[in-house]
Amino acid sequence: MTLQQPALAATAALARPARRRDKGRLFQEIGMLAPAVALLTIFLIVPFLLSFWTAMTNQPLVPRPTPVRFIGFTNFLRILKDDLFWISLWNVSRFTFWILPVQCGLAFATALLLHQKLPFRNFFRGLFFLPAITSMVVVCVIWGTLFQYPTGPLNQVIGFLSAGRIQPIDWLGDPNWAMFSIVLLSAWQAYGFQMIVYLAGLQGIPDELYDAARIDGANAFQRFWHVTMPGLRPTHVFVLVITTIQAFKLYTQVAVLTQGGPRSSTETVVHYMVRTGFEEQKLGLASAVSVILFLIVLVIALLQRQLLRRFDV
Amino acid sequence: MSDLVLSATQMEVKRERSAIGSLRLVQTACILVIALVIVSPLFMLLVASLKDDRFQILADMGSFRAFWVSNPTLSNFAEVGNLSGELAYGRYLLNSLFILACTVGFGLIVNSMAGFVLAWGSLRGRALILSVVIALYVIPQESIIMPLVIMVSRAGMTDTFAVQIVPWVASPLYIFLFYQFFAQLPKELFEAAEMDGASVFRIYRSIFLPLSLPALATVSILMGIEAWNQYLWPILVTQTDYARPIAVAIATFFGQDSIYWDRAMAASVLMMIPILALYLAFQRWFVSSFVGSAVKG
């Protein structure tokens, strides 16, 4: 989970200008920087560049006697012709469409509530963050039981609240419901992070603005609409973008609970990639998927910069 | 005239106060509802892990008995807490703890050193390295693991602890977090120490690091959660129990025909304990520095 905004600070001036250099000091600095640079090069830059190369070869998972051949964009064409890839892209889009209002909306509402001077608010802040530190696999164990069909807790609660009018739902077994069920447990797990980010955003709005608005006779709703919302614009963009990127990387929940089923209704891009690479053992093909995934994430990140620049004025 | 205005304002204040009073009530009610939604699944997990009979667990799920256990037992924990054998969740837990400790330990050192040099060093390429680090941040883990799997298997690193630790020690995000934290400290700190003849490493080690507890706590928690919850990477690079982390082991409950919920619940509780302890230990610093360092727009 990421809560920083490095792209923005890229232009920020470095802490202080370079000064008189002497050799011993230079060596020390290089020595302190070297481990990070070496590790990032070996485990991030090299595999990243390799993924572009592998994507254009017929690299298998297990080495074969026949040499690996360069096949150009064949892998990309094959993926773009594969219905399952488009289904997985459609599924993560559906997931994004649901998770944004559910998770971010809930996080925003909770942050607004906890920003008030309510009793025990620090306790609640800590409490609401608990699911976020819970491993996704544990979340799957918990929600796997909550989703039990037909007499699991969730169905019981819904039956009780609707006085039996709503029939039990086969949360994970019904293709119409499976992705939405994944949305529910994902939102439950991750919304604490967004809540904290929103709290930070709310604390960043100076009190003087509220005082000034009050003196001008603005009511609570006007203060919210004309002070809080504009003040939170960068936060909104950040939260929406991070959540969207996370959504496109959806994997663990689906791999543990549904394996992409039923009837491919929860197949995701990363799950599709892992299956291609490790079950079908076509690493070249899987690398092509990973390149496409990277491009999607890159576009979203660039979109964020553009949006922020527009808002920043 | 002024009396009239004053009393009008007073009335308004009074009205606003009573409105605030009822608003508070609604707000508190909302918070309690959210708390119920957040906490009840976790509470259910804890309760179910103390029940002996897996069929009973499922039967209880449909009623309020899901939140109550009449004769709590630790037998599930005894069953899964072995150090070897079929249900060696004790071992997987220790594996995960070892991976967590090494990743966070090395990660704090490596990333903070780099962040410090980027903030206060005199190297000529600092600005360039910093912008490369920031650019690297965009690359998702998911899109590099395919070639990475080939690399580590060629290097004979599969099924080791190292393969689960070393690749994730250095991270653009944490280097940047440390950079940002160090850069905002006053430059007099650095200059005074330099005047006294302290070396760069010495200044980092004895002056800046002790001042960076909030940053260290934040990075520890974020890195710890990340290392603890790794799932995709370990399933690709571990085949035997030797270095298998507990997340992967718990997921195998789902592969069986009928799920042993009692054991799955107990193993899940086991998995929550260490990360919960880490969170509670660092929470004080975490929330303040998190709030301080998150999006500034």
- Structural domains in chain A, CATH included, are 73-312 (1.10.3720.10)
Q: How confident is the model at residue A77 (pLDDT cuts 50, 70, 90)?
A: very high
- Residue A258 is given by DSSP the state T
Amino acid B289: pLDDT: 56
Report the residue of chain A nearest B126, measured CA to CA. Answer: A14
Provide mean pLDDT across the span B23-31.
86
Whole-prediction pTM: 0.86
A298 in Cβ contact with A244 (< 8 Å): no
Provide mean pLDDT across the span A129-146.
91
**pLDDT at A2 exceeding the cut of 60:** no
Amino acid A154: pLDDT: 85
Yes or no, beta carbons of B297 and A234 under 8 Å apart: yes
Chain A (52-91) residues lying within 8 Å, Cβ to Cβ, of chain B: 54, 59, 61
Top-level CATH class of B77-293?
mainly alpha
Site from A4, A235, A254, A290 to mutate, B interface, most B CB atoms within 10 angstroms: A4
Averaged confidence pLDDT in chain B: 85
- Closest partner residue to A113 among B30, B130, B142, by Cβ? B30
Provide mean pLDDT across the span B76-100.
87
Q: How confident is the model at residue B8 (pLDDT cuts 50, 70, 90)?
A: low
A11 lies within 8 A of chain B by CB: no
Count CA atoms closer than 13 A to A166's CA, side-chain side: 13
Provide mean pLDDT across the span B255-275.
86
B chain contacts of residue A308, beta-carbon cutoff 8 Å: 297
- Of A283, A287, A270, nearest in space to A85 by CA: A270
Q: Tell me how close the Cα of A17 comes to any Cα of chain B, in angstroms.
A: 8
Distance CA A298, CA B263 (A): 42
A85-99, A193-207, B252-266: segment of lowest average pLDDT? B252-266
SS3 A212: helix
Amino acid A252: pLDDT: 93
Provide mean pLDDT across the span A94-122.
89
Q: How confident is the model at residue A179 (pLDDT cuts 50, 70, 90)?
A: very high
pLDDT in tens, B204-248: 999 999 998 888 988 998 899 899 989 999 999 998 888 999 999
Amino acid A261: pLDDT: 78
Determine if residue A286 is left, alpha or beta; phi over 0 gives left, psi from -120 to 50 gives alpha, anything else beta. alpha
pLDDT in tens, A202-223: 888 888 888 899 888 888 888 8
- Closest partner residue to B39 among A36, A127, A251, by Cβ? A127
- % of chain B beyond a pLDDT of 90: 40
A251 in Cβ contact with A274 (< 8 Å): yes
- Closest partner residue to A196 among B204, B264, B291, by Cβ? B291
